[in-house]
Amino acid sequence: MTHALRVLRTGALLEARNVITSNFMLFCVFVQPFFIGVTVMFMLRHRPDFDPVYVVVGTALSGIWSAVLFEGNWIIGGERRVGTLELLVASPTPLLLAIGGRLAGSMGFSVSSVALAYVIVAWLFGAPIRLADAPGFALSTLLAVFALWCTGMLLAPLGVLARTISRFVVILEYPVYALSGFLFPILLLPGWTNPISLALPPFWAAQAMHMTSSGEAWALPLAAVWAILLGTGLTALLISVPLFSAVLRRARVAGTLSLT
Question: Footprint of other proteins on this chain (CB under 8 A)?
Answer: 3, 6-7, 10-11, 14, 17-18, 21, 82-84, 86-93, 98, 249, 252-255, 257-258, 260
Q: Say if CB 37 and CB 117 are below 8 A apart.
A: yes
Measure the CA angle with vertex 138, ends 66 and 151; round to 5°. Answer: 35
Query: In the complex with other proteins, which residue's Cβ is closer, 19 or 120?
Result: 19
Nearest-angstrom CA–CA distance, 13 and 23: 18
Per-residue b or e along 213-231, where b marks 16 or more CB atoms closer than 10 Å to that residue's CB: bbeeeeeeebeebbebbbe
Query: Cβ neighbours of residue 88 under 8 Å, at least 6 residues apart?
Result: 79, 95, 98, 99
CB of 26 to other proteins, least distance (A): 13
Nearest-angstrom CA–CA distance, 111 and 165: 27
Burial of residue 54, with CB atoms counted within 10 A of its CB: 0-12 exposed, 13-18 middle, 19 or more buried: buried
CA atoms within 13 A on the CB side of 12: 16
Query: In the complex with other proteins, which residue's Cβ is closer, 84 or 112?
Result: 84
CB of 92 to other proteins, least distance (A): 4
CB of 78 to other proteins, least distance (A): 11
Query: In the complex with other proteins, which residue's Cβ is closer, 69 or 98?
Result: 98
Query: In the complex with other proteins, which residue's Cβ is closer, 11 or 181?
Result: 11
CB of 19 to other proteins, least distance (A): 9
CB of 85 to other proteins, least distance (A): 9
Query: In the complex with other proteins, which residue's Cβ is closer, 10 or 112?
Result: 10
